[in-house]
Amino acid sequence: MFFPRAARLAALLGALTIPATSALAQDVTLTSRDGAVELSGTLLGFDGEFYRLDTMFGELTVDGSGVTCDGPGCPSLTGFVARIGFSGAASMADVLLPALIEGFALRNGYDTDRTQGESADFTYALSTPDPKTPVATFSFRVTNSDEGFADLLADEADIVMSTREIRPTERTLAHDAGMGDMTQANRSRVLALDAMVPVVSPENPVRAISVPALAQVFAGQIANWQDLGGPDAPIVLHLPEAQSGFAQAVTDRLLVPADLPLAADIRRHPDSRTLSRAVSLDPFAIGLASFADVGAARALMLTGACGYGIAATRRSVKTEDYPLTAPLFLYIPARRLPQVARQFLAYTTSAAAQLVIRRAGFVDLAAERIPVGDQGTRLANAIRSAGPEVSLRELQKMVQVLAPLSRLTTTFRFEAGSARPDAQSRSNILQLAHALEAGTYDAHRLVFAGFSDGEGAAEPNRAISLGRAQAVRDAVVAMAEASGLQQVELEVAGFGEALPMACDDSEWGRQVNRRVEIWID
């Protein structure tokens, strides 16, 4: 159940000092079986096994098997039904999460019953058949990423659906409310991948645009198609609603790195699908749409002054080689969720779930192999860039190491101006660690291959790229707590600027080039 917005904001403001509580929360007393210990407080939640209590000592989690509960708020221990609240981005709640819940239910033999609530909100009830016994309800409040985080901070949601990263203020509020560091891999989970794709009408003659020029277009500094090689006509800008996580990600990923403000004269749309449809009908329009919603519009290739170009494809988005990749996040606070919720979250990382994600139109996270023979463009770029800094001998050394191997789509990149892996890469570290624990790569050799941008001298760049490769390998090994890593060879190599993915004449290009790839025999 969700509060009115006024109550939700009041709880958010109070989250800095006291834990937020639900309107339905009631005082209870938990007593140990021998009667020696008694604990009173406000019941915040019960997951079927553990009580979560707001007490004079702070928020506590108590094992239900060792206590008895007294008070009007005490839950039933025999007919327990798990209740999990999702809140946030409409683009994730529209198709993706329902498809995953249906897949999870089918895999576990549950029946599902969807009930439509007010506006776009809805609830899934899961039950066992014959006899029909309720197991869980998944409630969805469908708004945007901002509202999702507000609901989490007000203790009105268990999981946030977000198409952008958590803001620093939200991160601080969550930490101070006892929810942990929401940027850690176990709190911030990449569910699937999307991308911000520049789209135009099929009648528009422009085929490609550089990222710096795209930023200037949406800042209003380039206002005529003639400046992009098109007709002498004004450029009409289209974006989703300003409150949507997708639109906020456009500002974060495209305009902030270029230190440019967003233009004021922009036509807004309720969702990406509507945007693409409108752009496809206007030969002078340009918009940024979801990879899943390009539709009848035509996607522009991203290019640079040095001649490199890359299109938004499932593979380029999955490797994050496409520079405007947009992860879809689930944010989960540091508290125990009901068992069925934990099972659902585990399912979302399974091979079966990756097929569901792909069929929903998004890019899945399953690691794929890319043979050297499929990487002709990358190797051509390497040869084209060879010169005094990167000699033919250096390229030959790189090819000698990588030619017998295949590249995995699991790639690691770093936050701008930082050695810290970005949000998608932090999720990739966890994913690769789990795969190593499961024995997926037993009897194989994995090479962590580091690459750098072309700024500075070649030798220091090789050292930097090797250091990044070692850091990523160490992070993966540290995350893989289970034994068995001796069954796989983990090597590192640093090739500096030898294999560029983009032009080094812009910050986005340099950031794309700074990466660690995984190659496997």
N-term to C-term CA, the chain: 51
**Structural domain for 11, as ranges:** 5-70
> Do 398 and 449 share a domain, yes or no?
yes
User: For residue 80, what pLDDT is reported?
Assistant: 82
| Residue among 378, 456, 455 at smallest CA distance from 411 | 378
Name the helix (H) or strand (E) containing 140: strand 133-143
Three-state DSSP state, 154 = coil
Residues 6 or more apart whose Cβ sits within 8 Å of residue 305 = 210, 503, 505
In a domain, 53, yes or no: yes
Structure tokens at 406: 């295949």
User: For residue 10, what pLDDT is reported?
Assistant: 37
Three-state DSSP state, 201 = coil
In a domain, 323, yes or no: no
Mean pLDDT of 445-463: 90
What is d(CA 93, CA 122) in angstroms, rounded to the nearest whole number?
Answer: 9
| β-bridge partners, 61 | 52
In a domain, 355, yes or no: no
User: For residue 482, what pLDDT is reported?
Assistant: 66
Of 89-103, 306-320, 450-464, 484-498, the range with the highest mean pLDDT is 89-103
> Do 92 and 200 share a domain, yes or no?
no
User: For residue 305, what pLDDT is reported?
Assistant: 67
In a domain, 354, yes or no: no
pLDDT at 1 over 70: no
Q: H helices of 389-457, where?
A: 392-402, 423-437
> Do 339 and 208 share a domain, yes or no?
no
Domain end (from 45, 70, 95): 70
User: For residue 17, what pLDDT is reported?
Assistant: 31
pLDDT in tens, 304-357: 767 678 899 999 999 888 989 999 999 999 988 888 999 999 999 999 999 999
> Do 188 and 202 share a domain, yes or no?
no
> Do 173 and 255 share a domain, yes or no?
no
User: For residue 101, what pLDDT is reported?
Assistant: 98
CATH of the domain at 408: 3.30.1330.60
The Cα-based distances of 447 to 67, 314, 407, 411, 458 in angstroms read 51, 23, 9, 12, 21
Three-state DSSP state, 35 = coil
CATH of the domain at 280: 3.40.190.10
In a domain, 379, yes or no: yes
> Do 88 and 27 share a domain, yes or no?
no
Q: What predicted TM-score, i.e. pTM, was given to this entire model?
A: 0.81
> Do 40 and 106 share a domain, yes or no?
no
In a domain, 353, yes or no: no
What is d(CA 141, CA 93) in angstroms, rounded to the nearest whole number?
Answer: 9
> Do 419 and 498 share a domain, yes or no?
yes
At 495, which amino acid appears?
F
What is d(CA 230, CA 506) in angstroms, rounded to the nearest whole number?
Answer: 23
Mean pLDDT of 120-125: 95
Q: How many helices (H) and strands (E) does the chain have?
A: 16, 24
Three-state DSSP state, 13 = helix
Residue 22's pLDDT band, with cuts at 50, 70 and 90, is: very low
> Do 515 and 374 share a domain, yes or no?
yes
pLDDT at 8 over 70: no
SS (H, E, C) 336-358: CCCHHHHHHHHHCCCHHHHHHHH
pLDDT at 112 over 90: yes
In a domain, 124, yes or no: yes
In a domain, 46, yes or no: yes
Residue 484's pLDDT band, with cuts at 50, 70 and 90, is: low
What is d(CA 152, CA 27) in angstroms, rounded to the nearest whole number?
Answer: 22
> Do 282 and 201 share a domain, yes or no?
yes
Mean pLDDT of 139-165: 94
Total tally of structural domains belonging to the chain: 4
> Do 234 and 285 share a domain, yes or no?
yes
Q: What are phi and psi of 18, to 5 degrees?
A: -135, 155
- Taking a C-beta distance cutoff of 8 angstroms, is the pair 189, 329 a contact? yes
> Do 385 and 510 share a domain, yes or no?
yes
Residue 110's pLDDT band, with cuts at 50, 70 and 90, is: very high
- Taking a C-beta distance cutoff of 8 angstroms, is the pair 488, 442 a contact? yes
- Return the percentage of the chain with pLDDT > 90, whole number: 58
- Taking a C-beta distance cutoff of 8 angstroms, is the pair 452, 513 a contact? yes
Name the least confident of 1-15, 195-209, 266-280, 286-300. Answer: 1-15
pLDDT at 79 over 50: yes
CATH of the domain at 20: 2.30.30
pLDDT in tens, 170-189: 999 999 998 999 998 789 99
- Taking a C-beta distance cutoff of 8 angstroms, is the pair 318, 310 a contact? no
| Mean pLDDT taken over the chain | 88
User: For residue 365, what pLDDT is reported?
Assistant: 93
The Cα-based distances of 403 to 367, 398, 409 in angstroms read 19, 8, 16
